[in-house]
């Protein structure tokens, strides 16, 4: 069966895409030395990244709730999952050429591929996924507090090594251009899933279509093609900067 998309979800996702484009364009300008900003420590940029990523993951979780409610098969899920996993591989390859010392090995698409699989497996919990999401976020906060108190490792394991740092229970940030570990971000996706489940339980006949303005429709259209846009927007912007004579 075909899963019907909820237009308002696509609008939120489309808004996140526009915001992300602005953020990445500023990042590219910084790499080209046209502006001077600290994207790794300045709250102006770190909080923007957190908000943009949260919007994407909340929408991804909500989208899984819609798909599950509409009876999406594992085969349909696997087809979309393979697209995301393949795109994650392309991001790793492209970032390795641009940033060989800090290439992306577990960024947003890598994280989403793992999280979507886990959310799919946890879908039978329904609204109770909110509790699981809260537990994931709380675990991250508790681990962070333990590290701040002076713990050099957790449970005697090396969570900073590349074999385990994708979990997020780290004592130091890895050197990479994008890093989206399971803790706490799986919790955000689970909250998106549970929130949409609750909305669908209370409004079972909620219409996927929503009348809106021209801007509303444009954002919805952009949100429908978020994966393709995500893969293309950086090469296009970098190409435009290169054509303008600003090399990297």
Buried-exposed string 21-35: b where 16+ CB fall within 10 A, e elsewhere: bebbbbbbbebbeee
Question: Residue 213: what pLDDT?
Answer: 84
pLDDT at 151 over 70: no
Note whether residue 14 is domain-resident: yes
pLDDT at 2 over 70: no
Angle at 17 between CA 13 and CA 21, to 5 degrees: 170
CA distance 232 to 235: 6
pLDDT at 146 over 80: no
Question: Residue 152: what pLDDT?
Answer: 54
For 28-56, what is each residue's pLDDT tens digit? 999 889 999 999 899 999 999 999 999 99
Question: Residue 38: what pLDDT?
Answer: 95
For 65-90, what is each residue's pLDDT tens digit? 999 998 999 999 999 999 999 999 99
Note whether residue 248 is domain-resident: no
Note whether residue 2 is domain-resident: no
pLDDT at 115 over 70: yes
* Beta carbons within 8 Å of 226's beta carbon, 6+ residues apart: 13, 14, 17, 56
% of the chain at pLDDT higher than 90: 71
Q: Which domain holds residue 109?
A: 7-243
CA distance 110 to 189: 14
% of the chain at pLDDT higher than 70: 93
Note whether residue 1 is domain-resident: no
Question: 189 vs 161, which has greater pLDDT?
Answer: 189
Of the pLDDT bands very low, low, confident and very high (cuts 50, 70, 90), residue 170 is confident
- Could you give the number of structural domains in the chain? 1
C-beta neighbour count of 182 within 10 angstroms: 20
Note whether residue 201 is domain-resident: yes
Note whether residue 157 is domain-resident: yes
Note whether residue 27 is domain-resident: yes
Give the bridge partners for 157, in sequence order. Answer: 154
Answer yes or no: are the C-beta atoms of 220 and 7 closer than 8 Å. yes
pTM reported for the whole predicted model: 0.92
Question: 148 vs 240, which has greater pLDDT?
Answer: 240
């Amino acid at each position: 069966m075909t899963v019907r998309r909820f237009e308002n979800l696509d609008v939120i996702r489309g808004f996140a895409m526009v915001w992300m484009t602005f953020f990445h364009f500023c990042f590219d300008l910084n790499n080209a030395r046209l502006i001077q900003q600290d994207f790794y420590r300045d709250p102006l940029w770190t909080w923007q990244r957190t908000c943009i990523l949260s919007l994407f993951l909340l929408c991804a979780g909500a989208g899984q709730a819609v798909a599950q409610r509409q009876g999406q098969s594992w085969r349909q899920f696997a087809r979309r999952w393979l697209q995301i996993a393949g795109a994650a591989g392309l991001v790793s390859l492209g970032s390795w050429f641009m940033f060989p010392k800090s290439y992306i090995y577990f960024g947003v698409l890598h994280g989403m591929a793992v999280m979507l699989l886990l959310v799919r497996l946890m879908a039978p919990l329904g609204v109770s996924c909110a509790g699981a999401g809260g537990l994931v976020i709380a675990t991250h906060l508790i681990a962070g507090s333990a590290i701040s108190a002076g713990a050099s490792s957790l449970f005697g394991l090396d969570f900073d090594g590349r074999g385990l740092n994708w979990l997020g229970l780290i004592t130091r940030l890895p050197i990479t251009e994008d890093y989206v570990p399971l803790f706490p971000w799986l919790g955000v996706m689970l909250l998106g899933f549970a929130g949409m489940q609750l909305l669908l339980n209370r409004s079972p006949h909620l219409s996927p279509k929503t009348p809106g303005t021209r801007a509303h429709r444009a954002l919805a259209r952009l949100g429908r093609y978020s994966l393709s846009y995500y893969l293309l927007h950086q090469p296009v912007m970098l190409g435009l900067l290169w054509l303008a004579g600003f090399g990297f």
